[in-house]
């Protein structure tokens, strides 16, 4: 038998979301989360550099989905096609059975500017990762950065629609819709 229960990290994440939902972020202490997961405060800070980080565990998996989409695109794909490919990859991260959990998590984040800051930092990192994947496909700067950022723009708006109350369409459909809309508003001006 193991010396510790396995899955400490996951227990901490689950306990944290639970407490944030029920008492709010500010009212929840790191030591309270640790206690709920059966470990000491010190252990909490060994797994997560700060209190906010506990909500942002799966980012690298999402990044891989984005870039895997780009890497899998055909050789002759245009930058616009690559954006579509990245979004299709990201869509795999959000099957319908994840929607309820996403709503719950996002409600916590939306209620706390400190958590929004952390989320924005993670998303900015994602945009950089995607831009790097574009650059690997030969897209020059500044187009690669713009394309990476645009992927995240579409992603963000589509995600907001996806978790809206009553929405039932799958993520991929919404992302495709929003991408088309972006093509219109971002078109060349004055002609």
Single out the residue of 4, 138, 166, 189 in contact with DNA (rule: CB under 7 A): 4
Distance, in Å, from the CA atom of 156 to the CA atom of 121, rounded to the nearest integer, reads: 13
Among 13, 51, 63, 67, binds DNA (CB under 7 A): 51
Judged by CB under 7 A, which of 10, 24, 50, 186 binds DNA? Answer: 50
In this chain, which stretch among 14-22, 34-42, 98-106, 183-191 interacts with a copy of itself, using CB under 8 A?
A: 183-191
Binding of DNA at residue 117 (CB under 7 A)? no
Among left, alpha and beta (phi > 0; psi -120 to 50; other), residue 166 is left
Among 24, 42, 101, 116, binds DNA (CB under 7 A): 42
Helix axes 143-162, 113-136, angle to 10 degrees: 130
Rule CB under 7 A: say whether 29 interacts with DNA. Answer: yes
Instruction: Establish if 22 lies at the interface with DNA (CB under 7 A).
Output: no
CA distance 14 to 20: 10
Among 13, 19, 20, 47, contact with DNA (rule: CB under 7 A):
47
Distances (CA, A) of 71 to 76, 141, 144, 180: 12, 18, 14, 22
Q: Which stretch binds DNA (CB under 7 A): 24-32, 79-87, 132-140, 169-177?
A: 24-32
Q: Which 52-91 positions form the footprint of a copy of itself (CB under 8 A)?
A: 78-81, 83-84
Cβ 74 vs Cβ 38: under 8 Å: no
Contact between 180 and a copy of itself (CB under 8 A)? yes
Q: Where along the sequence are the contacts to DNA (CB under 7 A)?
A: 1-4, 8, 28-31, 34, 38-43, 45-47, 49-52
Q: Where along the sequence are the contacts to a copy of itself (CB under 8 A)?
A: 78-81, 83-84, 113, 116-118, 120-121, 124, 139, 142-143, 145-147, 149-150, 153-154, 156-157, 161, 178-190
């Amino acid at each position: 038998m193991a010396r510790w229960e396995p899955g400490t990290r996951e227990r901490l994440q689950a306990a944290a979301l639970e407490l944030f939902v029920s008492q709010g972020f500010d009212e929840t202490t790191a030591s309270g989360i640790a206690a709920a997961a059966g470990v000491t405060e010190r252990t909490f800070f060994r797994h997560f550099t700060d209190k906010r980080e506990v909500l942002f565990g799966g980012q690298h998996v999402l990044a891989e989905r984005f870039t895997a989409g780009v890497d899998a695109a055909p050789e002759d794909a245009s930058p616009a096609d690559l954006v579509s490919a990245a979004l299709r990859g990201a869509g795999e991260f959000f099957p319908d059975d994840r929607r309820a959990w996403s709503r719950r998590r996002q409600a916590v984040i939306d209620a706390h500017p400190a958590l929004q800051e952390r989320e924005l930092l993670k998303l900015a990192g994602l945009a950089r990762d995607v831009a790097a994947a574009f650059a690997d496909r030969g897209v020059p700067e500044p187009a690669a950065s713009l394309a990476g950022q645009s992927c995240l723009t579409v992603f963000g708006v589509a995600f907001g629609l996806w978790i809206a109350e009553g929405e039932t369409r799958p993520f991929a459909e919404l992302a495709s819709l929003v991408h088309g809309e972006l093509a219109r508003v971002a078109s060349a001006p004055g002609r």
